[in-house]
Amino acid sequence: MKDDLVLRVRKDLCLGCGLCAESCPRQAISLPSGQAQIDQNRCNRCGLCLDVCPQGAITELTPVSRRELQAAVTGLKDRTEDILARIERLKGNSDRAKQDER
């Protein structure tokens, strides 16, 4: 697994069976309130807990930097503006066509 991955436990799926904690070679998983919780400082991203969880409750997250997030938002905004401009052009064409028919 990549070093920059962060593991997260999905509370809606975790049954608290403890299999992940038993399999963890770094004792990074505890079940403080009946559900698994991962200590990111202890975790070495070996991936064993992902494999043993019968619920698929442990998922990988890739941290995104503020810069990457801003670039994604800007790209989305640009695409949205482009689509809106196209819709306006199409509406204009349609209105002109209706006027020509009269």
| Residues making contact with ligand SF4 (CB under 6 A) | 7, 9, 14-20, 23-24, 26, 28-29, 36, 38, 43-49, 52-53, 55, 57-58
Contact 6, 40 (CB under 8 A): yes
Nearest residue (CB) to ligand SF4, 4 versus 100 = 4
Nearest residue (CB) to ligand SF4, 61 versus 90 = 61
CB of 14 to ligand SF4, least distance (A): 3
CB of 2 to ligand SF4, least distance (A): 12
User: Helix and strand tally (H, E) in the chain?
Assistant: 3, 4
Nearest residue (CB) to ligand SF4, 15 versus 84 = 15
Contact 36, 20 (CB under 8 A): yes
